[in-house]
A and B are shown apart, each in its own frame.
Chain A
């Protein structure tokens, strides 16, 4: 696609000549590299609460970020006004990071090679509002119909369409059109005068509206949320102490995101502040574990045709049969560590400096039957669903919070237990993985990852796995 045919060419008349002049300005004090990130983001969100569609919001934001790299230094400025004077002013501010004569760079741009991972003709926000509001109304009805003990239902739907244009001083130009949609259902159940219990489910991705059908319909999410809340009504206090933990498939892959993913982001490793620094080639997990970060899976929430620095995304092996193989790079880290980029340079918006981030992080399937994994566990905890997690990348300690888990007694899943946090240490925890199931599942597509104040959409996935030793933070001895 030529720039003149692109969204920014068409809508804002931006030309290659303009882009070149901004980059020249950005390198006017001698930086090594400069890039421009133009972003136009249209969002809409709707929510139903007490069976009333109480909230409906739509809006647009627009801006451009200018970055200049000089050695290890980064200068950054942005403008929410695309007039040439304002962009040039932002470029001059970003240029201040460098101190030297203007750099004359190559002229002309070539378009980066690009995948087409979300070939959606009609983005969700281009569909009629009535069709979209229908999703939350159906979810509300289905959750209430599931069980009379469900007394509160909130369902929300949100979508966005982001147009980006990235141009850099290496003469590379990338365009992308990035749709996203997400449907969430949260419910509360109560039995008599007992404490209410929460249930939560949802899904989405870089998809069109027809994604929300069959097992991804509003009814399916609503029933799943309701099921979880009803299960929790009978929950007993969670156990405390070290024990065997079996993680079910799918969202429990957040373990990988926290235990290893963040610690392998190249900015931390360039600075040698990660528990995984200087450990490439070392055994950091059991030989049953192969962990991948893959930004190229079609229609997934964490996928991108090009990352937010214009580099094509790819499939990166992080851990292969337990051995640490690679880190996740953005442009700055790859320049400084003289490594290739991995397509992991991401940012929340034009107001943010890119940094290495995960895309879709998962563990490859093994060959154990999930039922055998549970049967082989005399006593332990089976975790089916999680809330959020967090990691201290320096000590390597990480947590993740189980929202639906059960005791395993004599090789059988028995009573549900109340919410509890699990804690472990990144480079150690996966060494205790003793069985890996043949049932790899990716999550439903609702993950959000926060780092240094920036949120980006991500995916996770895992087969059923057995971890022989992990600390469970309940209250029951």
Chain B
């Protein structure tokens, strides 16, 4: 474990050297990874590292530095380096630490750390990966190959201190198990994956279930074809719907909002989505990946309703972006080891609706069910949306055949106003979550 007191020492040292304010982050982590392929162990990785970051203010000038050397000489250079580089920055009237009254952390156990993650032994970890891959390989004779399976574990600690008296620390752990089988039939070769991840080993799904689901996902893509270009309803499965919520995050991120680099800038209080759309950011739910007791500026995290029944009610903000917009921080500061904080989300999710995914699909005469999106064709400044897609073609309420090498396009503005159905199947597999979503109409481009 790191000595949390070191962070306070760094802050004091910076003040002694003339800084008017300082914030220090320390981080330490141990990573483990076991990779298997075709029923044999392929890679083992086991290591740890530490780092320190410092951000200082000299009046309204800001400078930041980082180091992997936590010796006293390393720390001295860290401080010198931040002071030196602050000299070239320009005075920024909005720069500064949070007001002391805003600092603090959530009480109680947020279930972010479980020692079972580091307790299980290497052979058991390898065994889990072998079982997951085996379940995929054994699922069907058309699963002929595999990119393997891996078991990954991480445990670490984060410490944050600032010159306004904040000192906080928390530990996190996580583990994940995933496998990527390859299915083949004739000339068609397709891969897909499935995974489970959790902050506690006890909460991982079974290797057999992960392997079987990965196999089904690869198999259902075999023999995929292109469809003619047309406008149809598009259903996003849980995984791809999640990416829509991530796109919306970029548009409500205070950084893009104050620069007016977002299609949702200057829209607070306006209707921006269909009435069934409620999007919430909540960093306080125990055990989830977007949970933390305080943000990366030492402000307690909270639950923020971003879109309430279609109306834009809040942006996500850190201290800086809040000051630029004349608002209060929402406890969403994020940063690595150092630098000015950016804005991050906690557990950001779309509230579930009341229809099962099956019901949603059954009601569609002709449409697309998307299971994979590739590429970066989303512009959150203009809202233009165009991405590569693969999935299943829907005819008369049923899956007719797999499709790929197509794109789907619209604008995020239109899509948000056209959430024709929202599923009841919300589950958290990461810090962004969404149930199945149906968009009333998008352009599918193919032949």
Q: A residues engaging B (CB < 8 A)?
A: 44, 46, 48-63, 72-80, 90, 93, 96-97, 129-130, 133, 151-152, 188, 190, 195-198, 238, 240-242, 271-273, 275, 351, 353, 387-392, 394-395, 397-401, 418-421, 423-425, 471-475, 477
CB contacts (< 8 Å) of B340 on chain A: these are 54-55
**Contact across chains for A152 and B260 when beta carbons are under 8 A apart:** yes
CB contacts (< 8 Å) of B259 on chain A: these are 49-50, 152, 188
- Contacts A241-B445, A394-B189, A397-B374 aside, 10 further interface pairs with beta carbons under 8 A come to A56-B86, A57-B338, A61-B66, A73-B42, A75-B44, A96-B122, A273-B191, A387-B377, A397-B390, A421-B387
Which of B96-104, B237-245, B401-409 lies at the interface? B401-409
0/1 per residue, B406-447, Cβ < 8 Å to A? 111111000000000000000000000000000000010111
Contact of A61 among B41, B51, B84 (CB under 8 A): B51
CB contacts (< 8 Å) of A197 on chain B: these are 381-382
0/1 per residue, B56-99, Cβ < 8 Å to A? 00000011111111000000011001001111111110010000
CB contacts (< 8 Å) of A133 on chain B: these are 88
CB under 8 Å from chain A, chain B span 210-268:
221, 224, 226, 229, 259-261, 263
CB under 8 Å from chain A, chain B span 343-374:
372, 374
Residue in B37, B90, B92 whose Cβ sees the most chain A Cβ within 10 Å: B90
Given contacts A240-B409, A273-B191, contact A78 B260 (CB under 8 A): no
CB contacts (< 8 Å) of B138 on chain A: these are none
Cα(A56)–Cα(B66), bound, Å: 11
**Contact across chains for A401 and B377 when beta carbons are under 8 A apart:** yes
Cα(A317)–Cα(B377), bound, Å: 31
| Closest beta carbon of chain B to A376's beta carbon, Å | 23
Cα(A316)–Cα(B16), bound, Å: 56
Contact of A151 among B226, B260, B375, B386 (CB under 8 A): B260
**Contact across chains for B374 and A63 when beta carbons are under 8 A apart:** no
**Contact across chains for B381 and A195 when beta carbons are under 8 A apart:** yes
**Contact across chains for A53 and B90 when beta carbons are under 8 A apart:** yes
Q: Say whether B145 faces chain A, with CB atoms less than 8 Å apart.
A: yes
Given contacts A80-B49, A388-B375, A423-B405, contact A56 B85 (CB under 8 A): yes
Cα(A80)–Cα(B66), bound, Å: 14
| Closest beta carbon of chain B to A206's beta carbon, Å | 23
Cα(A285)–Cα(B411), bound, Å: 34
Q: Which residue of A lies closest to B192 (CB)?
A: A394
Q: Which residue of B lies closest to A96 (CB)?
A: B44
CB contacts (< 8 Å) of B375 on chain A: these are 388-390, 399-401, 421, 423
Cα(A356)–Cα(B188), bound, Å: 25
CB contacts (< 8 Å) of A49 on chain B: these are 259
**Contact across chains for A399 and B49 when beta carbons are under 8 A apart:** no
Contact of B377 among A53, A397, A420 (CB under 8 A): A420
Q: Say whether B50 faces chain A, with CB atoms less than 8 Å apart.
A: yes
Contact of A351 among B49, B90, B446 (CB under 8 A): B49
Cα(A72)–Cα(B221), bound, Å: 30
CB contacts (< 8 Å) of B167 on chain A: these are none
Q: Which residue of B lies closest to A196 (CB)?
A: B381
**Contact across chains for A475 and B410 when beta carbons are under 8 A apart:** yes
Residue in A96, A273, A275, A390 whose Cβ sees the most chain B Cβ within 10 Å: A273
CB contacts (< 8 Å) of B41 on chain A: these are 73, 97
**Contact across chains for A471 and B446 when beta carbons are under 8 A apart:** yes
| Closest beta carbon of chain B to A252's beta carbon, Å | 15
Contact of B405 among A80, A188, A425, A475 (CB under 8 A): A425
Q: Which residue of B lies closest to A392 (CB)?
A: B374
**Contact across chains for A129 and B405 when beta carbons are under 8 A apart:** no
Interface size class of B (residues with CB under 8 A): 35 or more
CB contacts (< 8 Å) of B53 on chain A: these are 59
Given contacts A196-B381, A392-B374, contact A54 B62 (CB under 8 A): yes
Cα(A130)–Cα(B89), bound, Å: 10
**Contact across chains for A60 and B68 when beta carbons are under 8 A apart:** yes
CB contacts (< 8 Å) of B382 on chain A: these are 195-198, 418-419
Q: Say whether B43 faces chain A, with CB atoms less than 8 Å apart.
A: yes
**Contact across chains for B47 and A473 when beta carbons are under 8 A apart:** no
Given contacts A52-B90, A72-B40, contact A421 B189 (CB under 8 A): no
**Contact across chains for A390 and B388 when beta carbons are under 8 A apart:** yes
Q: Which residue of A lies closest to B54 (CB)?
A: A59
The 5 closest A-B pairs by CB, nearest first: A473-B407, A59-B66, A399-B375, A399-B388, A421-B377
Given contacts A129-B85, A240-B229, contact A79 B90 (CB under 8 A): no
Given contacts A75-B44, A387-B377, A421-B387, contact A130 B65 (CB under 8 A): no
Contact of A395 among B189, B377, B384 (CB under 8 A): B189
CB contacts (< 8 Å) of A74 on chain B: these are 42-44
**Contact across chains for A196 and B261 when beta carbons are under 8 A apart:** yes
Cα(A221)–Cα(B189), bound, Å: 43
Q: Say whether B397 faces chain A, with CB atoms less than 8 Å apart.
A: no
Cα(A390)–Cα(B407), bound, Å: 13
**Contact across chains for B226 and A471 when beta carbons are under 8 A apart:** yes
CB contacts (< 8 Å) of A273 on chain B: these are 145-147, 182, 189, 191
CB contacts (< 8 Å) of B260 on chain A: these are 151-152, 188, 190, 196
Q: Which residue of A lies closest to B41 (CB)?
A: A73
Cα(A419)–Cα(B147), bound, Å: 33
**Contact across chains for A53 and B88 when beta carbons are under 8 A apart:** yes
**Contact across chains for A53 and B81 when beta carbons are under 8 A apart:** no
**Contact across chains for A76 and B43 when beta carbons are under 8 A apart:** yes
CB contacts (< 8 Å) of B409 on chain A: these are 238, 240, 420-421, 473-475
**Contact across chains for A195 and B263 when beta carbons are under 8 A apart:** yes
CB contacts (< 8 Å) of A473 on chain B: these are 377, 386-388, 406-409, 443, 445
| Closest beta carbon of chain A to B187's beta carbon, Å | 10
CB contacts (< 8 Å) of B406 on chain A: these are 423, 471, 473
Q: Could you list some 15 contacts between A and B, CB below 8 A?
A: A53-B89, A54-B92, A58-B84, A58-B85, A63-B68, A97-B43, A198-B379, A271-B147, A388-B375, A399-B387, A421-B386, A423-B375, A423-B407, A473-B386, A474-B409
